[in-house]
Amino acid sequence: MGKILERYPVHRLTTLHIGGPARFFAEAKSAEELQSLIQQAARSGISHCIIGRGSNLLVSDDGYSGMLLRLEPKRWGGIEQVDDRLVVDASVTLGCFCAFCAREGIGGFEFLCGIPGSMGGAVLMNAGAHGKNVGDSVESVRFLHKSGAIISDVHPQFSYRHCHLDGLDVLLSVVLRVEEFSTPLDEIYRRQRELRQWRSDHQPGGPSAGSIFRNPSGHSAGKLIDDAGLKGCTIGGAQISPVHGNFIVNRGNATCKDVLALIELARETVRQKFSIELQLEVHYLGPNGFEII
């Protein structure tokens, strides 16, 4: 079993580079090891939480008081083509997945290019861009149930930036339908380059957690924040990006408290000016686990 580390600095595991220590942290190399770690946490009377690549995650400055778990990336990085399906481990990064598709002449997934994070996170968030969502291609998933059993061949229910799976504890792998075979490599690379360039032109670089808010029905969260005059607003080391209003960037020394203050400022200003309630897209991990804020 992998080593269980104490007081692990969670900021090392997030793209925002923010977060206090987890009481315990471990990476599981197999489903059996993952089950064992969860059982060990339960016997010790502490909670557990699972994270992926930390690209859509805001962690409290106080850290997390339980056992934080992650699938060991090197052991959960498999991609296998089976007929007209792709079987993808949850820990595979979207960058590696897009590179695999380009090499194999598999088109249709270019919209995932440039999105940080893992396939597991993309499925659970029903990640999407340019009119496409990953949930549209999901045939089935394999996951660890809260009962401790491993469940296979389940089709989740998807909605905007959400995936519903009864009893989900940890997503292990996903089966994707492929619609474009034998696409010329130069065509795939061209599409990927265009989408990466679009992201570079329209989204900020540097440490961030991606989109902070969901887009309200019929509206763009970024435009609402821009129209509210908040782009570039700074609290402590955190800033609402001057490039895109729906991104909060860490300028080097931001705390979770700084980010939460900007979130509340954006919510309150948009509520007052436009009577629209902004809902978080980013996940917040507090001392006692994931919370809705």
Structure confidence at residue 180 as a pLDDT band (50, 70, 90) = confident
Residue 137 among the catalytic residues? no
Write down the pLDDT at residue 2. 65
- Respond yes or no: is residue 161 known to be catalytic: yes
DSSP per residue over 248-288, as a string? EEE-SS--HHHHHHHHHHHHHHHHHHH-----B-SEEEETT
State how far the Cα of 4 lies from the Cα of 22, in Å rounded to an integer: 11
CATH number of 5-71: 3.30.43.10
Domain boundaries, the chain: 5-71, 79-199, 206-277
Give the domain 206-277 fold: 3.90.78
- Nearest residue to 65 (alpha-carbon basis) of 287, 282, 229: 287
281 classed as catalytic: yes
Catalytic entry in 161, 191, 241, 267: 161
Q: pLDDT by residue (tens digit) across 111-163?
A: 999 888 899 999 999 998 888 999 999 999 999 999 999 999 999 999 999 99
Per-residue confidence band for 188, with pLDDT thresholds at 50, 70 and 90: confident
Choice among 173, 211, 241, 267 that is catalytic: 211
Q: Which single residue is written with the structure tokens 């007081």?
A: 7
Q: pTM score, two decimals?
A: 0.92
Is the CB of residue 147 less than 8 Å from the CB of residue 141? no
Two structure tokens written together for 269: 């200003």
- Write the CATH number of the domain with boundaries 79-199: 3.30.465.10
| Intrachain domains 79-199 and 206-277 with the same fold | no
Backbone torsions φ then ψ of 30, nearest 5 degrees: -155, 165
1 has pLDDT over 70: no
Instruction: State pLDDT tens for residues 38-76.
Output: 999 999 999 999 999 999 999 999 999 999 999 998 899
